[in-house]
Structure 1
């Protein structure tokens, strides 16, 4: 005869395991991770060369830039804000670093200046929003054109080429570490760090509190202007980091680079599980969302789909992902009410 005391521990263990599984499957980023893995496997089954390590690393490398922008966008969306200028900031920072290196500046110092420039551009956005008191989406819609126009103006619309590609900056930042592209490692570090910041620090709590209920956050003493300024500057810094990684990899600067990256960053963040209504966010999901968008784009080329259909397919994936995520959220909410 088995006593109830003997039967207790296994039930607790099983309950703990079930709880862990439920948390994994219920995580906001689980859907986009599962969708990305499934899509890669499907393409790989039909086109086996797609699963080669070099191809997968190339996908991750080309996703790193939008992934960094999407990480910053996830923070902004978490507090009901949107920065439409991140693509232009990325382009301006990249072209600025290229021009400094071309003028003879030390490449590492130029890279540092590019990251600082990103933070300053984010501060410009914050100042406009705070002191002119217009919505962030309107302010950054204007600076989108201002920053892009500045990048074109300072270069006369020409590429900045003939950079010293043998410099240690290009060989290290534009190279690999143990076979993994340097940009992918930077993205991974940023995702881990920003995830900890968002979910395990007072700053992250303030971001989510503002997104959940701005009025209650203000009543509790949280300054929305201060937090918004900090997040916009952080978003600019991430754009600067992405620009530095971009110039190191491409080894030339195009003033038009980054066009459309802001919409891709928003799409990646939303696909990854960060809702537009604010109050919650996932940095990991945003980064994986950027990878998913790139998987779709590269997958189309493997099936010889005309480039004209790329935008259509990307939009369809966004709609499908958001619809599935919305249904999953409603189902979870319904289950919690029961």
Structure 2
């Protein structure tokens, strides 16, 4: 009897021992956190970006200079803002092909207003509002003419670009007063970071919260998951689509104002091709074209990755004409890897 009582008091060999609350299984907890981080939708694009920066930097150390890296972030701002809005649209199974033209037209409109004596900050506000109006035009065409968004925006791509060229007569908008606070503030730096980069980070964080923690974000994802079920549940698909298109236009307006403040001049052809880069950035960042989910932070990382690719090509003396080829290749690889990972995950769930 005494032997039995003693054996019950002592732990048996190989039995798990209770961890103290203070100690815990710290290595296991850290491994779990790392595993969850690697499984995040934006993890692959972040790792790819870091790896690519390391490869280019190893061959050309000047690529790793802070000024060069800041230039890449600065160049990523405009496509990044468009990609954030595009991630909302792609999550709804929609695509806006006119965002590059919206960006250019808003930049030109703001520059023309400033050149005609309008207060710079008022002109900037009008530029952002103009972007929202352009988005509303797209929404009206889609809603009332009842044609797919991709077809409607393919038409307005040319309409908005042609309007920008017509307003300027095909000439650049120059001669702006760059000593104005609009240019020194929005085109300047805070703590060594370009203001435009800070704006991009703030916008991305706000829209991430909106997407994942508000009823509006829930409706966007619900429509992308199953439009018929969302409509049956009482969600107005047309209204939400209109709101998202207006949001995308407003982001194009913000990007246009930041671009004007940085470049201090306006070219009516600026932003050409931004629409494809924005779509690519959203997809590379982890927003699948099938809809139902979106990665806002991943879209920003995707825009940075595309600019790292473009900048890296110049360091290896590869002609700029190959930039589009490299971008397309990156998209194919990213979509292919995402498809492979998704199929394996679904197979694991079935088994």
Q: TM-score range by the shorter chain?
A: over 0.9
Q: Name whichever of 9-18 and 298-307 sits farther off.
A: 9-18
**Counterpart among 273, 285, 308 of residue 295 in structure 1:** 308
Does residue 283 in structure 1 map to residue 296 in structure 2?
Answer: yes
Does residue 318 in structure 1 map to residue 331 in structure 2?
Answer: yes
SS at match of 1:6: coil
- Kept after mapping to 2: 8 A contact 1:120/1:233: yes
Distance 1:82 1:238 in 2: 15
2:231 is matched with: 218
Considering only aligned residues, what root-mean-square deviation do their CA atoms show, in Å?
1.6
2:275 is matched with: 262
- Kept after mapping to 2: 8 A contact 1:78/1:276: yes
Distance 1:220 1:182 in 2: 42
- Kept after mapping to 2: 8 A contact 1:31/1:325: no
- Residues 300 and 28 of structure 1, relative CA distance in 2, 3 Å threshold: same
Does residue 60 in structure 1 map to residue 73 in structure 2?
Answer: yes
Normalising by the residue count of structure 1, what TM-score does the alignment of the two structures yield?
0.96
Normalising by the residue count of structure 2, what TM-score does the alignment of the two structures yield?
0.93
2:41 is matched with: 28
- Kept after mapping to 2: 8 A contact 1:183/1:245: yes
Cα displacement (A) at 1:316: 1.1
Q: Deviations over 1:267-295 (max 9, x none)?
A: 11001110111000101111110111100
Cα displacement (A) at 1:337: 2.6
1:118 is matched with: 131
Distance 1:127 1:64 in 2: 28
**Counterpart among 88, 96, 101 of residue 75 in structure 1:** 88
SS at match of 1:63: helix
**Equivalences, count:** 338
- Kept after mapping to 2: 8 A contact 1:61/1:184: yes
Distance 1:126 1:318 in 2: 28
Give 1 or 2 for the bigger CA radius of gyration.
Answer: 2
1:108 is matched with: 121
SS at match of 1:70: helix
- Residues 215 and 310 of structure 1, relative CA distance in 2, 3 Å threshold: same
- Residues 247 and 78 of structure 1, relative CA distance in 2, 3 Å threshold: same
Structure 2, unaligned runs of 5 or more? 1-9
